[in-house]
Structure 1
Amino acid sequence: MKRGLVVLDTAEVPEQERPDRVARLQRRLKDEGVTIGLVYADVHRSDDVGYLTNLCIYWNEGILAVPAEGDPAFLMKLSPRVHPWMRRSSTLTDLRSGKGFTALVQGFIENAAGVDNTEPGVIGLVDGSLWPTTTVDEVRAAAPGWDVRPLGGLVREQRLVPSAAELGLLGAAAGHLRTALDAVVGPDLPDGERIALLEQALRGAGYTDLMVEVVHGPDEVSAVEVTGQFRFSWLRASRLVTQAAGAPQWAASLQDALAAARAAVAPGEAAAVPAAAAEKTLTGLPAGATAHATVVHQADLSTGGDYASPDEQLPVGAVVVVSVEVLFPDGGRVAVADTVRVGETGAEQLDDKELHA
């Protein structure tokens, strides 16, 4: 269940930006020959709907129905009592509740402005390969005679390069994260206190979703890891903590590997290139240890990057998480990570003041 501040503030994101995002999706639907696009969301994967409407799916599941022409509607398995705050905190005006998606989708087809329900059309499932099978079955049952087809990640593609407003929010979030981590990476804090201090600082700064963990490796080396959602964008950072008088060589090499990955981040490069640079740099690991480096778009962080291709080229302006993780034979692990922007000449710190000048 998500917790935290949900903000609809035109000082953060201009009022017209979210309707423009919907209009961009509608143009793509028309290009694909789609009558109605459906965007699925649940508490685990709701960023596409949040990006389009600012709606936070804090529980249960829903479908954003976007006709190629006309206004979108949110179809949900939540009671109507949540409609007032959804209207206050999102750009949506059409909210529909029910016990199942079959009746909800059927009702939308029959009553949506701009949708000709006299002739079966095409329903496109955005990011259809990630939909629950039972939900797809409900949609098919709602639209006999209609062509129900899976689409690619149309909204994800829009989210890969943050707008100026989103970049400003990411920069603020990165500053909060850096300050909070700096305060907890001293060698003498208990794990529970590190986690509590990070939760307090970042929840207080407005993070909606937060996963904080302290992990341990050999030689008294541990790592503090934070993955968090700020508004509807994501960041990750991980720092090493060394208890011994001097950090072991492999820990220093891990930091060098992260630096090598950052140095290899460049527009037009595949995500696998900086990951390979990190793995090539990492040396001197303890016997039996294995290392793995990744570069993941922040737009894919809610699903851990599991569905993204390492061969996908990095567009200029994208925001990505660069991380290097080491697994040890006894089950321990440590990692270092940072979230950066893909600039024209390489990786850029999100909270760099020059980036937002």
Structure 2
Amino acid sequence: MKRGLVSWDRNELPVEEMSARLDAVHALARNKSVDAVVVYSDVWRSNDARYVSNYMPYWNRAFIVTPLGEKPILLCALSPRVYPWIKTVTVHETIVASPSPPATLFKLSAERGWKRVGVVDLDGLPADLHEELTAGKIEIVDIPRTELRPAPTAVEVRMHANAARMAREVLERALATAGARTDHELTGLLERDLRHAGAEDVVVLVSDGEGPPIPAEGRPVGPNTSVVVALEYNGHWAKVTRNLAGVTSSLTSPGEATQLREILSGPYSWENAETAADAEATAIISLQLQIAANGRQFYYGDTCLQNKEGLRVL
């Protein structure tokens, strides 16, 4: 399956944290004069839904609808047989079967007498959902995503740090033991150990020093090998890169190394940080460096908190 076992450890993610987020969504609804705030979710774009209700789908499109003064309602097309499980790992108490989330939202609005509904990042919706929503009879108000989530909370930072620590420990141990002869074997060992450690999703890329990291192709593992591990732990992503040659660079001041910055706390699992606003945003980022040495390309990187004070490795 796409993800491993999804659970809710209330020591890691306290109920009080989710209550504070709900209060913030209600305040946003009042500020925008809307009857409810809607967040879209699918398997690739579940970060915002996870933030609001801790809902992390195995698959499926969904709307998380938060009425003013109430708990979020989940509109999804998953089988009712999984609803009891969903209720154990989210704040949702009400789940409505919804083959078409927009149609169900319109029906709910008619039943509740809602006239104005706020949709987070309206123009970022899939085209068919955008078209259906904006063709309805209720007023749809676009809510910029930065108003829902201006910056990662302290709990989110800690969760990303836990994910980064897991990736770092497993990757560095695997490279130190030299137990794999090919990148296929190395990828298998890493995924096994990361899944056992609690990762829900794992992506492994490998470079032989001649080109960028790519999925395993059966190439030998040797002194020029670099490995990228991206993993999801309880809905929070981390990305860590190491190389067998031990080539490193400062991540807080990477100097002349070619670098790639990706946002891990955005709407998607990870996305390139390309604009000036991305570079200034308070966010969890992946910083990956390409370092030239001995005629080869080595890769090194980690997960960082980016804010006005600079970068801090988590």
User: Quick check: TM above 0.5?
Assistant: yes
Q: Distance in 1 between matches of 2:274 and 2:24?
A: 22
* Pick aligned residue for 1:182 from 168, 172, 181: 172
Q: How does 1:340-355 map to 2 (within 5 A)?
A: 340-342=304-306, 346-350=310-314
State which drifts further: 306-315 or 84-93: 306-315
AA in 2 matched with 1:161: P
Q: How does 1:196-345 map to 2 (within 5 A)?
A: 196-218=188-210, 221-242=224-245, 252=247, 255-256=248-249, 259=250, 261-263=251-253, 278=254, 281-282=256-257, 291=258, 293-300=259-266, 302-306=268-272, 309-312=275-278, 314=280, 318-325=283-290, 335-342=299-306
How far residue 86 of structure 1 moved from its aligned partner, in angstroms, is 0.7
Counterpart position of 1:81: 81
Which portions of structure 1, spanning 4 or more consecutive aligned residues, are displaced by more than 4 angstroms?
313-316, 342-346
Q: Please tell me whether residue 138 in structure 1 is matched to residue 118 in structure 2.
A: no
Counterpart position of 2:214: none
How far residue 84 of structure 1 moved from its aligned partner, in angstroms, is 1.1
Q: Deviations over 1:41-79 (max 9, x none)?
A: 111111111121111211111111122332321111222
Q: Please tell me whether residue 12 in structure 1 is matched to residue 12 in structure 2.
A: yes
| 8 Å Cα contact 1:262/1:322 also seen in 2 | no
Structure 2 CA distance for partners of 1:151 and 1:337, relative to 1, 3 Å: same
Q: Distance in 1 between matches of 2:88 and 2:81?
A: 13
Structure 2 CA distance for partners of 1:73 and 1:333, relative to 1, 3 Å: farther
AA in 1 matched with 2:169: T
Structure 2 CA distance for partners of 1:63 and 1:344, relative to 1, 3 Å: closer
Q: Please tell me whether residue 95 in structure 1 is matched to residue 95 in structure 2.
A: yes
Q: Distance in 2 between matches of 1:17 and 1:124?
A: 23
AA in 2 matched with 1:204: H
Task: Tell me the SS of whatever aligns to 1:171.
Answer: helix
Q: Calculate percent identity across the aligned residue pairs.
A: 23
| 8 Å Cα contact 2:237/2:269 also seen in 1 | no
Structure 2 residue runs without a partner (length 5+): 212-222
Counterpart position of 2:216: none
| 8 Å Cα contact 1:237/1:337 also seen in 2 | yes
* Pick aligned residue for 2:123 from 123, 126, 129: 129
Q: Distance in 1 between matches of 2:181 and 2:276?
A: 37
| Higher-Rg member (1/2) | 1
| 8 Å Cα contact 2:163/2:237 also seen in 1 | no
Q: Distance in 1 between matches of 2:78 and 2:278?
A: 37
| 8 Å Cα contact 2:123/2:130 also seen in 1 | no
How far residue 333 of structure 1 moved from its aligned partner, in angstroms, is 7.1
State which drifts further: 335-344 or 53-62: 335-344
* Pick aligned residue for 1:162 from 125, 149, 153: 153
- TM-score, structure 1 normalization: 0.74
| 8 Å Cα contact 1:341/1:347 also seen in 2 | yes
| 8 Å Cα contact 2:286/2:302 also seen in 1 | yes
| 8 Å Cα contact 1:322/1:337 also seen in 2 | yes
Q: Distance in 1 between matches of 2:93 and 2:297?
A: 47
AA in 1 matched with 2:153: P
Task: Tell me the SS of whatever aligns to 1:221.
Answer: coil
| 8 Å Cα contact 2:205/2:229 also seen in 1 | yes
State which drifts further: 177-186 or 225-234: 177-186
Q: Distance in 1 between matches of 2:291 and 2:105?
A: 46
Task: Tell me the SS of whatever aligns to 1:196.
Answer: helix
Structure 2 CA distance for partners of 1:223 and 1:333, relative to 1, 3 Å: same
Q: Distance in 2 between matches of 1:27 and 1:53?
A: 16
CA RMSD of aligned residues (A): 2.9
Counterpart position of 1:30: 30
Q: Please tell me whether residue 171 in structure 1 is matched to residue 171 in structure 2.
A: no
Task: Tell me the SS of whatever aligns to 1:322.
Answer: strand
AA in 1 matched with 2:287: V
| 8 Å Cα contact 2:286/2:301 also seen in 1 | yes
AA in 1 matched with 2:264: Q
| 8 Å Cα contact 1:156/1:299 also seen in 2 | no
Q: Distance in 2 between matches of 1:56 and 1:40?
A: 12
Q: Please tell me whether residue 67 in structure 1 is matched to residue 42 in structure 2.
A: no
Q: Distance in 2 between matches of 1:44 and 1:224?
A: 23
Count, aligned residues: 298
| 8 Å Cα contact 1:161/1:315 also seen in 2 | no
